[in-house]
Amino acid sequence: MKLYNPTSATPATSSVTFAGLIEKIEILRSTLRWSSRLERPEIEKLLKQATTLRDEVMGLSHKERFVAAASASGEAEAPVVEPVEMSARERRQALMERSFIFEGTFGDNPKLLEALEIAEKASPTDLPVLIDGESGTGKELMAKVIHANGIRTDKPFISVNCGAIPDSLLESELFGHKKGAFTGAANDRRGKFESAHTGTIFLDEIGELPLTGQVKLLRVLEAHEIQRVGSDEVIAVDTRIVAATNKDLRRMSQEGTFREDLFYRLSVIHVTLPALRERRDEIPLLVSYFGDEAAGLLKRRPVKLTPRLRDFLLHYEYPGNIRELRNLMYRLSCLAGDTADFIHLPQDIRPKPAGLQAVAAAGGKASVADLSTATSLSEAKRAASDEAERAFLERGLQEVGGTVAELARRFDMNRSHVQMLLKKHGIHSKDFRNNNRHPEGK
């Protein structure tokens, strides 16, 4: 590759930064992904090389990244960002040229770029940052981006899920405790704030923090010191605070369920991440990106999608945002053989095949009842029986690799009866063919 020769070390003074290099590798990877002239085996080989290259760079780059971030923040005449006048591509390119570390954040949506540009400016400071956005929009990833681009990058990044700690343990979890402070406190223990000393503490789901915890957190923000539970000793902590929530904290503070003073303390810099449905144009790229990522992890060829499944994925609402899309691609890559179809989607989001809807609409004997909408006990029983029948057929087809004759033989059923049942449920046996996706026998 002309881009980077791994055998020639990059001089420390080079204008080529490791962050820039990582981004170039990412560009190389997506270029390869979309290349039409290369054969798939060649693409896979090159992708593998690029991944190895990225891993090597990531292994070496910590100190270099620290220096890059520190010197960028020290520049008196940092280039002015004029988002309105630049295209999305130019804005991303400009971030790359300023050695911004994306930590895998993907996408050119203007709202996402705006969030990244704010993160870029906030990172080298110690100002608290509040990140909000729906579930799965990348809040934790953004917190890591802020940490990675700041001067604390080689110091700890400690993540605390405020919603997952029982009220009784909250204080001890955050600030630590002294031996004997309460039943079960067998030893001195330091809390998350002390662990994050000199680094960053990420307070996830901050909206779940009970009011008592909010008061204590406010004190740390004001005084930069903590006391372990049961101890009089005051310990100074130097910790950068990044908090995240999928709630509307401003509204909560107006309603009195979140302290207003804490809200203003935490949200000196406020970043909002866009929902995936606000960046639909990027879905095709994300489908391909996560499809390749899953293929790499599962050691298989990237899964192909039937046209109707692709269409579904491009138009689905994604209430779980990027996490849901990523999980879907992993699921499809794990469950499908060569090609994925509706059958490989989770049942709760799987659309009813057109054929099935038509049969149901016809209201004939072969109609399939829906358990979730059954209005009588007998209807519910029929729906449960239909679901069991469907699951049985699908599992059977998986086991026999989509051969109807084999399915009929194995379960001692009449072949035309099996065909009739498959038709009733809108199941296509061919969707289950070529399911042997682990040639090594894994």
List residues near ligand ATP by CB under 6 A: 104-107, 133, 135-141, 246, 322-323, 326
Looking at the Cβ atoms of 270 and 433, the one nearer to Mg ion is: 270
Shortest Å, Cβ 139 to ligand ATP: 3
Looking at the Cβ atoms of 107 and 124, the one nearer to ligand ATP is: 107
Q: How far apart are CA 432 and CA 442, in angstroms?
A: 19
- How many other CB atoms sit within 10 Å of the CB of residue 400? 20
Q: How many residues bind Mg ion (CB under 5 A)?
A: 1
Question: Where in 93-122 is the site for Mg ion (CB under 5 A)?
Answer: none
CA atoms 70, 74, 79, 82: torsion sign: positive
Strand-strand pairing, 240-245 and 200-204: parallel
DSSP state of 182: S
Instruction: Please give the C-alpha separations between residue 91 and each of 12, 75, 95, 140, 438, in angstroms, as whole numbers.
Output: 27, 19, 6, 22, 42
406 binds Mg ion (CB under 5 A): no
Shortest Å, Cβ 204 to Mg ion: 5
Looking at the Cβ atoms of 143 and 408, the one nearer to ligand ATP is: 143
Q: How far apart are CA 384 and CA 342, in angstroms?
A: 20
> Strand order of the sheet with strand 157-161?
157-161, 200-204, 240-245, 129-132, 269-272
Q: What does 106 interact with, of Mg ion, ligand ATP, none (CB < 5 to 8 A by kind)? A: ligand ATP
- How many other CB atoms sit within 10 Å of the CB of residue 347? 9
208 binds Mg ion (CB under 5 A): no
Q: How far apart are CA 26 and CA 3, in angstroms?
A: 11
Looking at the Cβ atoms of 1 and 164, the one nearer to ligand ATP is: 164
Shortest Å, Cβ 18 to ligand ATP: 20
Q: What does 136 interact with, of ligand ATP, Mg ion, none (CB < 5 to 8 A by kind)? A: ligand ATP
Shortest Å, Cβ 246 to Mg ion: 8
Looking at the Cβ atoms of 17 and 245, the one nearer to Mg ion is: 245
Q: What does 104 interact with, of ligand ATP, Mg ion, none (CB < 5 to 8 A by kind)? A: ligand ATP
Which residue is nearest to ligand ATP, using beta carbons?
Answer: 138
Token pair of 369 as six digits: 């009842």
Shortest Å, Cβ 133 to Mg ion: 9
- How many other CB atoms sit within 10 Å of the CB of residue 157? 18
Shortest Å, Cβ 417 to ligand ATP: 45
Looking at the Cβ atoms of 54 and 428, the one nearer to ligand ATP is: 54
Shortest Å, Cβ 342 to ligand ATP: 24
Looking at the Cβ atoms of 140 and 379, the one nearer to Mg ion is: 140
> Where are the alpha helices (H) located in 180-255, listed in sequence order?
192-195, 211-223, 249-255
User: What is residue 270's three-state secondary structure?
Assistant: strand
Q: What does 156 interact with, of ligand ATP, Mg ion, none (CB < 5 to 8 A by kind)? A: none
The 139-178 site mask, x for binding Mg ion (CB under 5 A), equals -x--------------------------------------
Residues across the chain:
442
Q: What does 65 interact with, of Mg ion, ligand ATP, none (CB < 5 to 8 A by kind)? A: none
Looking at the Cβ atoms of 39 and 348, the one nearer to ligand ATP is: 348
Residues 402 and 432 sit within 8 Å (Cβ to Cβ): yes
**DSSP H/E element including 305:** strand 304-305
> Where are the alpha helices (H) located in 373-430, listed in sequence order?
377-400, 404-410, 415-425
> Binding segment for Mg ion among 26-34, 138-146, 281-289, 292-300 (CB under 5 A)?
138-146
Q: What does 246 interact with, of Mg ion, ligand ATP, none (CB < 5 to 8 A by kind)? A: ligand ATP
Residues 414 and 408 sit within 8 Å (Cβ to Cβ): yes
Looking at the Cβ atoms of 226 and 271, the one nearer to ligand ATP is: 271
Residue with tokens 């008061």: 215
Q: What does 44 interact with, of Mg ion, ligand ATP, none (CB < 5 to 8 A by kind)? A: none
Q: Cα 116–86–99 angle (5° rounding)?
A: 45
Looking at the Cβ atoms of 193 and 202, the one nearer to Mg ion is: 202
Dihedral of CA atoms 285, 289, 295, 297 in degrees, nearest 10, equals -160
User: What is residue 54's three-state secondary structure?
Assistant: helix
Q: What does 123 interact with, of Mg ion, ligand ATP, none (CB < 5 to 8 A by kind)? A: none
Interface ranges with Mg ion (CB under 5 A): 140
